[in-house]
Amino acid sequence: MRDSLGSALIIASALLPAARAATPEPWPLWYNETVGPDGPWNAIHFSIDFPDQHVTFHPSLLETSLIINASACQASSASCPLPTPGMWEGSGAQSLSAWKNSASFEPTALTDEAGKYMTDVMGLEGNMRYIAERFVLQANEGRRYKFLDNHVSAVSDNLTVKYPGGTSYTLDVGYWSLNGMQDTFGYKSANGSQLEMNTTLADAVLQDAVASTSYSLHVGSVSQNISGSLYLGGYDRTRCIGTPIATDDNSYLYLADVELGVAEGGSAFINTSAKRTTGLLKTNGTNAASLPLSTRPDPGVPYMYLPGATCDAIAAYLPVQYDADFDLYLWDTTDAAYTKIINSPHYLSFSFHTAGKSGTTQNIDIPFALLNLTLSAPLTPSPTPYFPCRPYDPSQSDSAPSTILGRAFLQGAFLAQNFDSKYLWLAQAPGPGAIDSTDVHVIDADSTSLTAAISPVWNATWSSVLKPLAGDASGTDSAGGGDKDSASDSGLSTGAKIGIGIGVGLGAAILLLLLALFFLRRKKQQRRHTAVPTSEPSPALIDVDGPTAPPYEAQQPGSWAMQDRKVGEMAPAVGELDSSNSGAGVQELPSPGFEHGHGHGRGQAYELA
């Protein structure tokens, strides 16, 4: 009997490690739908309800998910983008839980951080309500589906997105909540009952679908054939190609600067010849927060929401024009610089502090190929390319970060968050040349670090798409002027620069003329005492290895370029002075010319019967 008991204990002990090792694998979501009148964007294809209904979502940091009711686009007043994505059509199963539906409310009633700033920056208007719904985690072959029942979600019946000029469209894509700050969410039903429902990530942990209340994502790009990547409870290392910037306590990241750069080849930025321009992060007036600025990456909002002074500073180097109706910058597609910038390794760089509000910084570079997005119907009658920088004043919100980096930024950046350990990570994401494989790892509940893939520099992953322009590969750096009003290097207008360039050229020509006259007079004085053979060459008047003259303006396609020129390169050397040919003493010296061109705190999640 003892032997039998001992054998059973040994067997049980041997099985314990295997049981502990059964950590749920990360759960991928299908992130390859194409949506958006201001994208195109990648979106999530997901199943809800019973029987399954396939609906479309953007990932977001909203406290609860948001479903779009199909009736929203069926109303005569609706203005929905086409083609219509998957929407919820209601069901008999959900109607059985109709008593759990809340009364209708407006988006201004949202109290969570993301809900507040999303309502503000997207101009959300209309009605929504809370319901209890089933979400279905679809599985690949060999893995069982997971059903997230008694899951709280908001429903949009007629929400619209409104722009400053009055143009609007009916919200047609929902929001899949990645917010794990709370395990449950409380609200009051229309009949007055106080309800507590599970939130999305907490429900996934409760159903043993994932190992932690965590996610990772890379939005990717439809136009550049980069599929989206979204995992619950884990991350794909191939989408994280730089050392992650980390912050603890689920706090903000801090933006130290915004820069422009060219990774390889010549520059097509306008109003500068510099290959790298720094100091473009500016604040809105004297009452604005001082640098660095708090920032929240959020795939639920479309644009890069930066101080208006920062957007203007960046735009000063781009062929764009501000459009007040959309509060965005439209690309001038007729300017040669436009095509060059978006098809070569020109990038917008965001410099973040790696720890808190000071100290070491690390950059994430977003190529302009990803910042060439399109406004389309019903917003514009024809496709209109735009640069997604939206002037933003956080002082208008009572609780909001100073900047918000939405989907446009996350096309080129990797974002992950572990709500159990309270860590958030942000890193460089790859281009289309490095997404053919995956390397998926679990994020455990106590994980405080992620490991990046061993990859080349980011522009190497874009080499098949972005081709360097001809030109100097080294270039120069310039400062954008910090918080100064002017965004250009010198603070001068183009006309002023041209005038200075011409003046410098004429001045150099006059200097050479005076030198020639000086040596001519000296030679005549020498002839009074010594005969000089006519075959002897005159002394060299210019040392081609000598110091450089001040830079002058030389036209480059799409920009005015400052170039250093040797004095000897600015005009031909003065000819030999021959006493037998006094008429040929001093030659005319040409000046350099110009060619004008161009709820509730975290606790145990539970299900309600």
* CATH (domain of 86): 2.40.70
Distance CA 281, CA 363 (A): 13
Q: Which of 462, 490, 510 is the last residue of a domain?
A: 462
Q: In degrees, to the nearest 5, what angle opens at C-alpha 251 toward C-alphas 246 and 254?
A: 65
H helix runs in 470-560, sequence order: 494-527
Distance CA 64, CA 116 (A): 13
Question: What is the residue-wise DSSP string for 78-140?
Answer: ----SS----B---HHHHTTGGGPBPPB-GGG--SHHHHHHHHHHTEES-EEEEEEEEEE---
φ/ψ of residue 499, rounded to 5: -60, -45
Phi-psi region of 403 (alpha: psi -120 to 50; beta: other; left: phi over 0): beta
Q: Is residue 519 part of a domain?
A: no
Nearest to 447 by CA among 415, 413, 419: 419
Q: Is residue 388 part of a domain?
A: yes
96 and 179 both lie in a single domain? yes
Distance CA 445, CA 20 (A): 14
| Site of tokens 């917010």 | 179
Distance CA 302, CA 312 (A): 19
Supply the pLDDT for residue 355: 87
Residues 6+ apart with CB under 8 A from 218: 226, 228, 229, 236, 239, 410, 413, 414, 415, 429
312 and 385 both lie in a single domain? yes
92 and 159 both lie in a single domain? yes
Distance CA 137, CA 133 (A): 13
Supply the pLDDT for residue 436: 84
Write out pLDDT tens, residues 68-121. Answer: 999 999 988 899 998 989 999 988 888 888 999 999 999 999 999 999 999 999
Q: How far apart are the first and last CA of the chain?
A: 45
φ/ψ of residue 453, rounded to 5: -70, 150
Q: Which of 413, 447, 462 is the last residue of a domain?
A: 462
Distance CA 222, CA 35 (A): 9
Q: Is residue 228 part of a domain?
A: no
Q: Is residue 223 part of a domain?
A: no
271, HSE (Cβ side, Cα atoms, 13 Å): 23
416 and 335 both lie in a single domain? yes
Supply the pLDDT for residue 19: 43
Distance CA 236, CA 219 (A): 13
Q: Is residue 507 part of a domain?
A: no
Supply the pLDDT for residue 416: 98
Q: Is residue 583 part of a domain?
A: no
Instruction: Give the total number of structural domains in the chain.
Output: 2
Supply the pLDDT for residue 456: 74
81 and 47 both lie in a single domain? yes
Supply the pLDDT for residue 415: 98
Write out pLDDT tens, residues 224-273. Answer: 999 999 999 999 999 999 899 999 988 899 999 999 999 999 999 999 99
270 and 183 both lie in a single domain? no
63: helix, strand or coil? coil
375 and 321 both lie in a single domain? yes
Q: Which domain holds residue 102?
A: 36-209
291 and 399 both lie in a single domain? yes
Supply the pLDDT for residue 545: 35
CATH code: domain of residue 265:
2.40.70.10
Q: Is residue 563 part of a domain?
A: no
261 and 333 both lie in a single domain? yes
Supply the pLDDT for residue 519: 46
307 and 171 both lie in a single domain? no
Give the percent of the chain with pLDDT over 70. 72
Mean pLDDT by 10 residues, the chain (609 residues): 43 43 88 96 96 96 97 91 91 88 96 95 97 91 86 95 97 97 95 94 95 98 97 97 91 96 97 95 71 96 98 99 99 98 99 92 98 98 98 76 98 98 97 90 96 86 96 65 38 38 47 50 42 36 34 34 35 39 40 40 42
Supply the pLDDT for residue 506: 46
Supply the pLDDT for residue 435: 80
The residues that bridge with 188 in the sheet, in sequence order, are 194
134 and 238 both lie in a single domain? no
| Site of tokens 């010849």 | 273
State which H helix or E strand residue 313 sits in.
helix 308-315
φ/ψ of residue 162, rounded to 5: -115, 135
Q: Which of 442, 462, 482 is the last residue of a domain?
A: 462
Neighbour count for residue 504 (Cβ, 10 Å): 19
Q: Is residue 64 part of a domain?
A: yes
| Site of tokens 């998926």 | 440
Model confidence, pTM: 0.77
99 and 197 both lie in a single domain? yes
